[in-house]
């Protein structure tokens, strides 16, 4: 569920952020961190 939301947000914002590579990379890093957190929560939960 969380993974789907993160990927959807990434798809929505990727077009507008492609012009600014640094912001795009920061957003991608946040998405990856969120995916890792969700994975840990699901595995431990």
CA proximity to 27, closest of 37, 38, 16? 16
pLDDT tens digits along 4-14: 777 777 766 66
**CA–CA separation, 6 and 23 (whole Å):** 16
pLDDT tens digits along 21-37: 677 777 778 888 888 88
- C-alpha separations of 8 from 14, 43, 45 in Å: 10, 22, 24
**7-17 residues labelled b (16+ CB within 10 A) or e (exposed):** eeebeeeeeeb
**What is the reported pTM?**
0.52
**CA–CA separation, 26 and 23 (whole Å):** 5
């Amino acid at each position: 569920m969380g993974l789907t939301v993160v990927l959807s947000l990434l798809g929505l914002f990727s077009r507008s952020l492609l012009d600014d590579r640094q912001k795009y990379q920061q957003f991608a890093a946040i998405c990856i961190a969120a995916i890792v957190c969700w994975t840990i929560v699901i595995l431990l939960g």
